[in-house]
Amino acid sequence: MGDDCQAFVKWFQNKGGTVDLTSMELTYFPASEGGRGAVALKDLEEGHILFSIPREVTMSTRTSSLPSLFGMENWHRFGLDEGWSGLILSMMWETAQGPKSKWAEYLHVLPTSFDTPMFWDDKDLEELRGTSIIQKLGKEDAEKDYQSKLKPALESRPDLFPPAGSETYYSYKIYHVMGSRILSRSFNTEKWQRREEGEGEELQGDTSMGSAMDIDEHEVKGSELHSQSRRESESSDEEEDGDDEPSDPSDTAMVPMADMLNARYEHANASLFYEENVLNMVTTQPIKAGDQIWNTYSDLPNSELLRRYGHVDWLPLENGEQGNPGDVVEIPATVVVDAVKEIHTTMAEDRFTQRIDWWLEEGGDDIFDFGWEVEYPEAVFSLIRLLLLSDSEWEKAREKSKLPKPKPDAEVLTVLQNALTRRLDEYSTSIKDDESLLQRDDLRLNLRNAVIVRLGEKKILDAILAKVGTDIAAAYGKRPKRKLEPQSEAKGGKKSRR
């Protein structure tokens, strides 16, 4: 255990945390295995408590003294009670307090640099062309949040935020650092709410704030506890689907020690459970001495692992290749609409606008996920059939408020083939190009991660296109009359991606 880890563990214990140092140790692994993490020092059984954290040691807008010093009325006025702005500002302020902060030693061991695309330059970001990562970075929203919330709040209280320390502690760059720490390491730790007498006790789950860790009810040794797994929603202000009540931003917390564990697809062997006053990291399956102790990121695809945490999973797949079993390719509904337009060029534009609006009002998806299992999401067939309905059929469907059945006939499959081909054309390299790049020993980390993300997606698209081609041929009883090949020399001189 390095000196910084030893100092952190000592601080953790001094604050009331307990850690079984006979069972686990913080150490450093190769970058491919997550970097700093925890290792089992002996064989551990399922249900073993590795460490416990008092709730007051977690770092949130509930436990930081900044909101009360700032004044809750002003806290609300500047919008610091919405999203992650308040927690980011609290983390900035606590850092500025130096040794006087309750979390000084903890803040010292948190990362100050990240391999996430949020910090990549334009050249590296270009390597992600075709993936959905760029659209999800949220740089513009982050800058807007900083300029409209944090900056006015900082300027309103020079006594709390001395201008002399603005560049060191409160700059836009530091804002990104704190936001990335929350994105990759935070947990959702709702207030403990007691039920009526005789009904037991439970935590009321609400994950809409998008903290890194999600909540999933689970029992351990007869105690009614709740586990947490890493996850983050698309917007920190987003409300849970079907829930009229917005989540409480103060539920999002940094949890010392718990955030030191690494994760890998389907390797989780420990999870965080919590009671009224403490949170416990508990083994969820036996762990052998010398093995790494893994938490979970909810088995995310590489595109999300890279965007949120700055790494990718490169594991053996069932088909004999390497990749992430959880990888998916997103096909936006707009790509499907464009595919229909290309085939049916005489359809009026308002035909598509009206039907898409109705589709969304009826709860239809605006993005369709395709994965390694090479299966069709039925909803995509329903959307295509909706767009292909005659005007009279469309009116009947709207009157009955009934979406078309997801029947994949030859015409529908041909549209899907066109949409998939369009999606594949968005990448700037071929599968062969990427496979060659991965053979190089001198590949930069950012480039390697980008190649792994886009290669997995392209291979999924390639497999789905092969399936579509076979199904179209079967539907026609022969080769399709209209064959839509992936990028070819006939399309602007670009080579095929397959």
pLDDT tens readout for residues 380-405: 999 999 999 988 999 999 999 999 99
- What secondary structure does DSSP assign to 213-229, as a single string? EEEEEEEETTEEEEEEE
- Quick: pLDDT tens for 64-113: 999 999 999 999 999 999 999 999 999 999 999 999 999 999 999 999 99
Average pLDDT over residues 249-274: 91
Distance CA 440, CA 437 (A): 6
C-alpha dist (Å) from residue 231 to 8, 114, 296, 308: 25, 18, 9, 9
Structure token digits, residue 269: 């062997």
- Quick: pLDDT tens for 475-497: 887 554 444 444 433 333 344 44
Residue 117: what residue type? P
Q: How far apart are the first and last CA of the chain?
A: 48
Task: Say which range, 51-65, 338-352, 394-408, has the weakest mean pLDDT.
Answer: 338-352
Q: What pLDDT score does 207 carry? A: 29
Residue 2: what residue type? G
* Residues 403 and 358: beta-carbon distance below 8 Å: no
Note the CATH number of domain 1-310: 3.90.1410.10
Reported as type and span, the H/E element at residue 354 is helix 349-361
Decide: pTM greater than 0.95.
Answer: no
Which backbone phi and psi does 223 adopt, to 5 degrees? Answer: -90, 140
Q: What pLDDT score does 2 carry? A: 66
Most confident of 137-151, 181-195, 445-459: 445-459
**pLDDT of 281 above 50:** yes
- Domain boundaries of the chain, sorted by first residue: 1-310, 328-476
Q: Find, among 238, 183, 243, the residue nearest to 213 by Cα.
A: 183
Distance CA 30, CA 452 (A): 18
C-alpha dist (Å) from residue 124 to 17, 116, 121, 342, 368: 41, 11, 6, 33, 27
Q: Which residues contact 40 (CB under 8 A, 6 or more apart)?
A: 23, 24, 287, 288, 289, 290, 291, 292, 293
State the CB neighbour count (10 A cutoff) for residue 70: 21
Q: What pLDDT score does 466 carry? A: 96
Distance CA 345, CA 338 (A): 10
SS3 state of residue 38: strand
Greatest extent of the chain over all pairs of C-alpha atoms, in Å? 78
* Residues 9 and 1: beta-carbon distance below 8 Å: yes
Q: What pLDDT score does 497 carry? A: 41
Name the residue with higher pLDDT: 319 or 333: 333
pLDDT over 90 percentage in the chain: 68
Average pLDDT over residues 4-9: 87
Structure token digits, residue 179: 């936001």
**pLDDT of 220 above 50:** no
**pLDDT of 209 above 90:** no
- Quick: pLDDT tens for 355-377: 999 999 999 999 999 999 999 99
SS3 state of residue 188: strand
CATH number assigned to the domain with residue range 328-476, chosen from the 4 options 3.90.1420.10, 3.90.700.10, 3.40.50.620, 3.40.50.2300: 3.90.1420.10
Q: To the nearest whole number, what is the mean pLDDT of the chain?
A: 84
